[in-house]
A and B are shown apart, each in its own frame.
Chain A
Amino acid sequence: MMRKILKNEWTVKIGSAVIALAAFCMLWQAVTVFTGMGDFLPGPAETFAEFFRRFVKPYGKAVLPMHMWSSLRRILIGYTVASAVAIVLGIVMGTYRIADAIVMPLFNIIRPIPPVAWIPLAILWFGIGDASKYFLVFLATFLSVLQNAYAGARSADPVLVGAARMLGANDGFIFRTITLPCAVPYIFSGLQNGLTAAWGQVVASEMIRSSAGVGWIIIRGMDNNDILQELVGILTIGIIGFILAASMRGVEAKLCRWTTRGK
């Protein structure tokens, strides 16, 4: 019974999503065909066709998938390293007050500076190559994951810690079996925010200085006054961002079964 309702709910949701996107595209197409806007704004059909054409026809030196790969490589490397460092540091800060007291004030000075504001300095320090992009992605991810890992490590329910102690657990065992699982949902929300921030950061840093990547596509489109290229670029950015976010949710659902299962 429950499963049937759930299934129907999904059918409605997916169905309406398809209808909604189709309706959106039709509206867009209609606007370009029937109004003067068509003179400079390409329609969806043209945009999608161009999107696929660019899989073989290069933008600049590389075809579209290669640009995607440039951006993805930057995000994957910077994001992975930053997440690992931030999770460890955040948990250490949440567990040991001395680490908290040392790092927190410095972090509080850096935190309000939006990651994009580091772009000029990063270029000065690391040049215009990939090194500066890794640094920038690292920074964007680090800021948001650290805060959450820290909050997560401090979120351990004192009643549960007491219960574990009552059952004979020592500090190390409590850390592994209580503190870490309590922190996991927080860490995941940090990882998700971090991924969004990192994706924005990659696009921004490519827009400002680069020779490949999806951010480069849209900035080159701007220089050439090429709206079609803009639309293809935005579409690509949206698709990749969507896939990144969705895969993150998938991993979370797998790892945090106890919070979602049975609800």
Chain B
Amino acid sequence: MQMDNTGKIEVMIQCSHVEKTFFTRMTSTPVIRDLDLKVRKNEFVVLFGPGQCGKTTVLNVMAGLETATSGTVTVNGKEVSTPGPDRGFVYQTTALFPWYTVMQNVEYGPRARGMSKKERREKAQYYIDLVGLQGFEDKFPNQLSGGMQQRVGIARAYCNEPSVLFMDEPFGHLDAQTRYLMQEEIIRIWEKEKRTVVFVTNNIEEAVYLADRVVVLTNCPTSVKKEYQIDLPRPRNYTDDRFLELRTEIQSIVDKTL
């Protein structure tokens, strides 16, 4: 557990009484109901929930891409209302800029904040190497495979050196083999460059494999149902007894939906 000098637990993200309702002309759909959540510094938290339960909305609200109807979200002590570079986001479908090369995509954040070309190139190169894409700097995204595109997405988010990373089912569209590989990779990268990560998935194995803590969400309108500390040592094994036990336990409490 991460503590600061005074020995207190350092809270990185705090959601208190967050509510989110979508309004259309005739209807209102509550999506998040009274959600409370604390994430510690450098913790890897996985939000896990059934089908369309609003996980992505929770993430978008935390990131500032959507505003909460009521309640507050603070990141690093500051209240979140708009998107900002202190938070990084890795998307479900790769939201890479198709007209930029890998290098230009990764250096986008530093460039937007006005960093000199030499400096940002250096920084981008470091993260491109970190995700294992050296040699692909000048390729366009549509020339890369799905797994490689997600690596670019991760490098791009990292390159801005945010204190928090949000990942919205980043491996959802990958095939099973690539997915396992990327799960190992994301842990390797995270252990090398520690960040606070909030990771959304609907895959229970992925949740148990990656997380320090799994937060199970209820069905829509969503709130926290139960939390599990995953105390398994890394690297984890999908067939380990304790792993399977946790998997079964979490599976048993998840709301069933179509």
Contacts and interface: CB of A to CB of B under 8 A. Distances in A.
B65 A162 contact: yes
Given A168-B112, A168-B113, A169-B112, A163 B95 contact: yes
B190 interface: no
A166 B85 contact: yes
Q: Interface residues of A toward B: which range?
A: 20 to 34
A164 B108 contact: yes
Contacts of A259: 98, 142
**Main SS of the interface on chain B?**
loop
Contacts of A181: 97, 99
A203 to B, nearest CB: 36
Interface stretch (B18-26, B86-94, B215-223): B86-94
B156 interface: yes
Interface stretch (A141-149, A170-178, A240-248): A170-178
Interface residues of B, number: 27
Given A162-B65, A177-B108, A263-B142, A167 B98 contact: no
A258 B65 contact: no
A110 interface: no
A181 B143 CA distance: 18
Given A173-B112, A262-B140, A168 B84 contact: yes
A261 interface: yes
Given A160-B97, A163-B95, A167-B109, A258 B142 contact: yes
Given A167-B85, A167-B109, A262-B143, A177 B97 contact: yes
B99 A167 contact: no
A102 interface: no
A165 interface: yes
Q: Is the interface of A mostly helix, strand, loop or mixed?
A: helix
A166 to B, nearest CB: 4
A263 B99 CA distance: 14
Interface string B2-29: 0000000000000000000000000000
Contacts of A168: 84-85, 109, 112-113, 160
A168 B114 CA distance: 10
A262 to B, nearest CB: 4
A166 B65 contact: yes
Interface in A150-167: 157, 159-160, 162-167
Given A261-B143, A263-B142, A166 B87 contact: yes
B85 A262 contact: no
A167 B95 contact: no
Contacts of B97: 160, 163-164, 177-178, 181
Contacts of A178: 97
Contacts of A61: none
A263 B143 CA distance: 8
Contacts of A184: 99
A259 B142 CA distance: 8
A162 B83 contact: yes
A153 to B, nearest CB: 15
A36 B10 CA distance: 98
B83 A165 contact: yes
Interface in B66-117: 82-85, 87-89, 91, 93, 95, 97-100, 108-109, 112-113
A163 B63 CA distance: 11
A160 B93 CA distance: 11
Contacts of B109: 167-168
Contacts of A165: 65, 82-83
Contacts of B113: 168
A257 interface: yes
Contacts of A159: 91, 93, 95
Contacts of A163: 89, 91, 95, 97
Nearest to A159: B95
B95 A160 contact: yes
A218 to B, nearest CB: 43
Report the 8 A-B pairs with minimum CB-CB distance, sorted nearest first.
A168-B85, A167-B109, A262-B143, A169-B112, A165-B83, A181-B99, A163-B95, A258-B99
22 contacts: A159-B91, A162-B89, A164-B97, A164-B112, A165-B83, A166-B83, A166-B84, A166-B89, A167-B108, A167-B109, A167-B112, A167-B160, A169-B108, A178-B97, A184-B99, A257-B140, A258-B141, A258-B142, A261-B143, A262-B142, A262-B143, A263-B142
Interface of B: 63, 65, 82-85, 87-89, 91, 93, 95, 97-100, 108-109, 112-113, 139-143, 156, 160
Interface of A: 157, 159-160, 162-170, 173, 177-178, 181, 184, 257-259, 261-263
